[in-house]
Amino acid sequence: DAGVIQSPRHEVTEMGQEVTLRCKPISGHDYLFWYRQTMMRGLELLIYFNNNVPIDDSGMPEDRFSAKMPNASFSTLKIQPSEPRDSAVYFCASSLVPGQGDQPQHFGDGTRLSIL
Amino acid sequence: GNSVTQMEGPVTLSEEAFLTINCTYTATGYPSLFWYVQYPGEGLQLLLKATKADDKGSNKGFEATYRKETTSFHLEKGSVQVSDSAVYFCALYEYNFNKFYFGSGTKLNVKP
């Protein structure tokens, strides 16, 4: 089991550029979550999908943020245009049935995003 | 609403000291409770969990008991090691909302 795979691990870009973060969930997992982690705000849920359908995007901070899940094995989080305050670590997580089982959520290693 | 509050860090201890990291929660229903650990440069890993009142979760010498009367889920370990240095997150899962709610994290530094 390869776990949740995120790419890139690090991204440094200039303000105004489009940023695309990628996630490959664990095969067979029906749920996929995107989180943002900052020192000031801790770990925030941005959006989650069930069977590729966005269920709750109430955590998406602005219209500059968008997320898609075109198939069961791939999801993207886009920021356009990016701003310095978007700098954070972005985590993707997947699960079978959230909150249950031995591993209620499997996290990727995160993408550290720096907007200059 | 649902929320998790945990003690601010960093917490600095000497090796073999006793650890307590406090966590309290508010929930509209009957949540499951979790402790996650994050090592530098990595994602969160489940440390332990409890799904109902009075359950005790345990793993790797860490323990936490689900206390409904005090809405708490404090993390404890009798003798910490340098390798326990990490950030610890308390979390609840609310089935009605199908969401996890995480605390702000507590950084633990263990000195040899």
Residues of chain B contacting residue A102, judged by C-beta atoms under 8 Å apart: 46
What pLDDT, in 10s, does the model give residues A1-53?
Answer: 679 999 999 999 999 999 999 999 999 999 999 999 988 888 899 999 999 99
Q: Give the residue from chain A lying closest to B89, CA to CA.
A: A43
Q: What is the pLDDT of residue A80?
A: 96
Q: Which amino acid is at B32?
A: S
What pLDDT, in 10s, does the model give residues A54-109?
Answer: 999 999 988 999 999 999 999 999 999 999 999 999 999 999 877 666 567 889 99
Q: What is the pLDDT of residue A71?
A: 95
Q: What is the pLDDT of residue A102?
A: 56
**What SS3 class is residue B101?**
strand
Interface contact flag, B43 A4, Cβ < 8 Å: yes
Residues of chain B contacting residue A108, judged by C-beta atoms under 8 Å apart: 43
Q: What is the pLDDT of residue A88?
A: 96
Q: Is the pLDDT of residue B15 over 90?
A: yes
Span B37-42, mean pLDDT? 90
Q: What is the pLDDT of residue A32?
A: 95
CA distances from A88 to A82, A97, B39 (A): 12, 27, 17
Tokens of A102: 């031995």
Nearest by CB: A107 against B43, B99, B103: B43
What is d(CA B66, CA B42) in angstroms, rounded to the nearest whole number? 27
Q: How many interchain CB pairs under 8 A, A with B?
A: 52
Q: Which residues, including other chains, have CB under 8 Å from residue B39's CB and lie 6 or more apart? A: B45, B86
B22 CA: distance to closest CA in chain A (Å)? 17
Interface contact flag, A104 B49, Cβ < 8 Å: yes
